Amino acid sequence: MKSLVETAQRELKELAKKTPEGKHMVTGDIRRLSGKLYRLSGERKLENVLALCGEFLDRRDWAMGVIAFDWAYRVKAQYTADVYPVFYCWLKEYVRGWGDCDDFCTHAFGELLRQQKGLFPQVLEWTQDADFWVRRASAVVLIPSILHRDYAGLSPFAVADRLLTDPHDLVRKGYGWMLKCLSQADPDGVRAYLTAHCREMPRVAYRYALEKFDRETRQRLMAL
């Protein structure tokens, strides 16, 4: 494991050298490197891959985290409910902002929930977490299921209810984004929800949620 982590660090340093001064490494370039390293590793067993992901995350480096979350998603066909404690630990321990949260939750963690919908009661508890990125995650993690039209057994509106007046702007944007995705699958439900909560929902969440409606509907909702 140590050699793979060291190889990743070395390759990332080389990638950083090629990045123009004053610029950040591009996520797409890191993902391409991640794919190359994954093929070279030869690891395909869930337990081994997740252990390596933990090693990457222990470096507490953004680019290493991108690789870790990418590798975790690559073994999604092997997910079971037993993966939840590992992913939740990562969410609490290593995610420290909206970027990490969204990467992890719209790929690996979101796919786990899509496959294991019985985990939803635990996800609902995240809405009360002290860490804003965990509260944001409670909405964002539903997005893969919603986009696949595979969210039976999940309750996006219950999450929105709990986050409705959350004090953190990024949490408001997160559940607004989730409702925007839901509006493509259940436009009547989201329209009714926005109408019912137009007075109490923070405007940033409200505007996010109605973005995918047609112009006439957007104008009508904004006028409420």
What CATH number did the domain enclosing 148 receive? Answer: 1.25.10.90
Give pLDDT, residue 25: 87
Longest dimension (CA), the chain: 59
Per the listing, tokens 């964002």 go with 140
Q: If we measure between CA atoms, which residue out of 118, 119, 95, 116 comes closest to residue 105?
A: 95
Q: Flag whether pLDDT at 108 surpasses 70.
A: yes
- Mean pLDDT calculated for residue range 173-197: 98
Report yes or no on 144 lying in a domain: yes
Report yes or no on 197 lying in a domain: yes
| All residues at 6 or more sequence positions from 120 whose CB lies less than 8 Å from its CB, including other chains | 113, 153, 154, 155
Give pLDDT, residue 2: 65
Give pLDDT, residue 1: 57
Give pLDDT, residue 157: 98
Report yes or no on 150 lying in a domain: yes
Report yes or no on 104 lying in a domain: no
Number of domains in the chain: 1
| All residues at 6 or more sequence positions from 160 whose CB lies less than 8 Å from its CB, including other chains | 139, 175, 178, 179, 193
| Burial bucket for residue 14 (CB in 10 Å: 0-12, 13-18, 19+) | exposed
Which bin fits 116, alpha (ψ -120 to 50), beta or left (φ > 0)?
beta
> pLDDT tens-digit profile of 11-61?
999 998 888 887 788 999 999 999 999 999 999 999 999 999 999 999 999
Mean pLDDT lowest for which of 16-25, 78-87, 94-103? 16-25
Number of other CB atoms surrounding residue 44 within 10 Å: 12
- Mean pLDDT calculated for residue range 127-132: 97
Both tokens of 19, joined, read: 């990045």
Report yes or no on 33 lying in a domain: no
d(CA 126, CA 113): 14
Number of other CB atoms surrounding residue 58 within 10 Å: 13
Give pLDDT, residue 85: 98
Q: Where in the sequence is the domain holding 146, given as residue range(s)?
A: 117-224
d(CA 120, CA 224): 32
CA dihedral 66, 72, 73, 79 (to 10 degrees): -160
Question: Per-residue confidence at 3, pLDDT binned at 50, 70, 90?
Answer: confident
Both tokens of 67, joined, read: 């690789």
Mean pLDDT across the chain, nearest whole number? 96
Distances (CA, A) of 187 to 38, 60, 193: 40, 40, 10
Distances (CA, A) of 28 to 10, 16, 17, 35: 18, 13, 16, 11
> pLDDT tens-digit profile of 134-151?
999 999 999 999 999 999
- Mean pLDDT calculated for residue range 72-94: 98
Mean pLDDT lowest for which of 12-16, 91-95, 164-168, 216-220? 12-16
d(CA 145, CA 141): 8
- Mean pLDDT calculated for residue range 51-77: 97
Report yes or no on 96 lying in a domain: no
Mean pLDDT lowest for which of 6-20, 87-101, 113-127? 6-20
